Amino acid sequence: MARDGTAARIRWGLKDNLAEMLSSKVDCVECRNCVECKSMVTSPMRLSSSDHGSQPIASNSFNGVSPRLFAETNVSPAAQPQSLLFGNAIDLPNTPLFGTDGIRGRVGDLLTAPLALQVGFWAGQVLQPNPDVPGVVILGQDCRNSSDMLAMALSAGLTAAGLEVWYVGMCPTPVVAYLASISGAVGGVMISASHNPPWDNGIKFFGADGSKLSPTLQAQIEAGLRGNGAGQILGTQSCGTKWGRHYPRPELIEDYLRSLQAPLAKVSLTGMRIVLDLAWGAATRVAASAFQSLGAEVVYLHDAPDGDRINVHCGSTHLGALQQAVEAHAADLGFAFDGDADRVLAVDGNGRAVDGDYILYLWGQSLRQAEQLPGNTIVSTVMANLGFERAWEQQGGKLLRTAVGDQYVHAEMLQTGAMLGGEQSGHVLCRHYGVSGDGLLTALHLAALVQRSGQSLATLVDQSFQTYPQLLKNVRVEDRITRMNWHHCESLQQTIAQAEADMGDQGRILVRASGTEPVIRVMVEAVSADLVSHWTDTVVLAVQHYAQLG
């Protein structure tokens, strides 16, 4: 949050006099007495038969408050639904809300139910193509303890904007992206903080094609939140006379599973022993059936949803447990997912980590041999190892680099026509089979690739490339403004320039503020491990000094 009163102060919240409206005297058919409602209505209530014919409150009421009840108090939400979103003040940071993967932060600090409600409403205003025809939004969540709260608040905002919500419940993020792309929905929303710890959460948006929502539309949502041009956004929509509805649709997850299995219908993983680390997260909902349907023998780790332990010392950011299990069970390979299963890392039969660079290289070779890799092009990010890049170029391929974030990788893939891309961290996108980064899809295809090759994953990795020594360290910087403005620090810039001059073309350095965690990341890569160690430590000290001064 911004410090010293510098936060932007906005006035787009629940109506200040909502409690006053609800305290109006209403005849209840149950007791026939005059009652005072001092709080939000939480159960169906019927108004006096003499006034309204004893009709039940409509199930599409906002937070359980019937439009009829508003009418009784001389307020007409049908005429002005946006009035529900005006009034309460919320502090927002001066830095952008949307990072590289949606809105993400600590629950109770940046992320609260009132914020999620308003994000839902303004997203509804931006996503709704035709206010006279209710659009559909796919809504999913992971198993964090705060995800129920944020999902329901967001749904309330979306329905207040007139959209229908199809709520699939706990699921991997790729489920939301896929369903948005095939259902005719106007978009999708996932409540998750991906690989972050349990106390964080996030809101990810997808467009109607299943891709991450464009920066332009994200900016429009944020403008509404901040009150910048909110009147113009509302002015483009008719307030209408319809509320949206919220529908539980967990059965739609089966459509996603069938989409994973269809391209692999002729593949059998029989005879393969695979260990899956499900990180106490969303993959626990679908991973078992996906791998077992192909005949694999599966050993599971952290295989129940647990909001207190999601990503804690497990999953794609902590491979130790998976490496030990692969060796202990003499498994062929293992896969570790993050909390929402949009990324995956592998472990070979020798217990070695196989990151996104190796996965892209091996999958790229397979697609090229099948003549399914246009221009022999793979899209990755500035984090991709130089060893990967040079080995791929020696194979006659081309590696394009983007900024960190799968949304940038996907945008470059669409612009260049590339069919394969991803990140070293395990976000992998293959447009032949999916519309977004998908850990489960990637794991299934890598296992199938290994099975078809007749060789072990360890052998395939040995035959691929040697990585340059690379070291990534994170410096925790809690203050968001300090974190985002590191590049204005002259002494830090001088240290970086000195490192670049010393390494020349034998190495490179990357410093960036994370878009998903409260850290500044320092990555150094060079031909010499000594160079990497020296300059990583030097730059980290400079970042720590900057953070202390900030």
DSSP 19: H
**Confidence label for 47 from pLDDT (cuts 50, 70 and 90):** very low
43 against 319, higher pLDDT: 319
- Average pLDDT of the segment spanning 14-28: 33
CB 535 within 8 A of CB 473: no
Cα distance between the two ends of the chain: 14
Neighbours of 79 (CB within 10 A): 10
Q: Is the pLDDT of residue 244 over 50?
A: yes
State yes or no: is 194 an active-site residue.
yes
Q: 3-class SS at 179?
A: helix
Q: Domain ranges in the chain?
A: 25-72, 90-248, 256-462, 470-549
- pLDDT score, position 228: 83
Any idea which residue has 């709260």 for tokens?
149
- 510 and 496 Cβ atoms separated by less than 8 Å: no
Angle of CA points 357, 362, 364, to nearest 5°: 90
- The confidence score (pLDDT) of residue 233 equals 56
Which 8-state DSSP code applies to residue 91? E
For residue range 74-112, what is the model confidence (pLDDT) as tens digits?
333 333 444 445 444 578 888 889 988 899 999 999 899
Give the span between the Cα atoms of 449 and 358, in whole angstroms. Answer: 13
Q: pTM of the entire structure?
A: 0.79
Gap between the Cα atoms of 76 and 302, Å rounded: 50
In this predicted model, what pLDDT tens digit does every residue of 381-410 receive, in sequence order? 999 999 999 999 999 999 999 999 899 999
Exactly one of 146, 194, 366, 436 is catalytic; which is it?
A: 194
Does the pLDDT at position 2 exceed 60? Answer: no
Decide the pairing of beta strands 136-141 and 164-170: parallel
Numbers of helices and strands, H then E, in the chain: 19, 23
β-partners of residue 513 are 520
HSE-CB at 219 with a 13 A cutoff on CA atoms is: 3
Tell me what the mean pLDDT of segment 25-31 comes to: 33
Please, which residues bridge with residue 28 across strands?
A: 47
CATH topology of domain 256-462: Alpha-D-Glucose-1,6-Bisphosphate; Chain A, domain 3 (3.40.120)
User: Which pLDDT tens digit goes with each residue over 278-329?
Assistant: 999 999 999 999 999 999 999 999 999 999 999 999 999 999 999 999 999 9
Which of 13-22, 43-52, 99-108, 130-139 is the most confident on average?
99-108
Instruction: Give the pLDDT confidence of 175-217 residue by residue, as tens digits.
Output: 999 999 999 999 999 999 999 999 999 999 999 999 999 999 9
Nearest to 507 by CA among 542, 535, 541, 543: 535
Does 240 score more than 90 pLDDT?
Answer: no
- What sign does the CA torsion over 78, 83, 85, 88 have? negative
List the structure tokens of 344. Answer: 């995956």
90-248 sits in which CATH class?
alpha beta
For the CA atoms of 196, 198, 201, 207, the dihedral, rounded to the nearest 10 degrees, stands at 60
Cα 356 to Cα 362: distance, rounded to the nearest angstrom: 10
Q: CATH number of the domain at 470-549, please?
A: 3.30.310.50
Domains 256-462 and 470-549 share a fold: no
d(CA 97, CA 87): 20
Give the count of beta carbons closer than 10 Å to the beta carbon of residue 257: 16
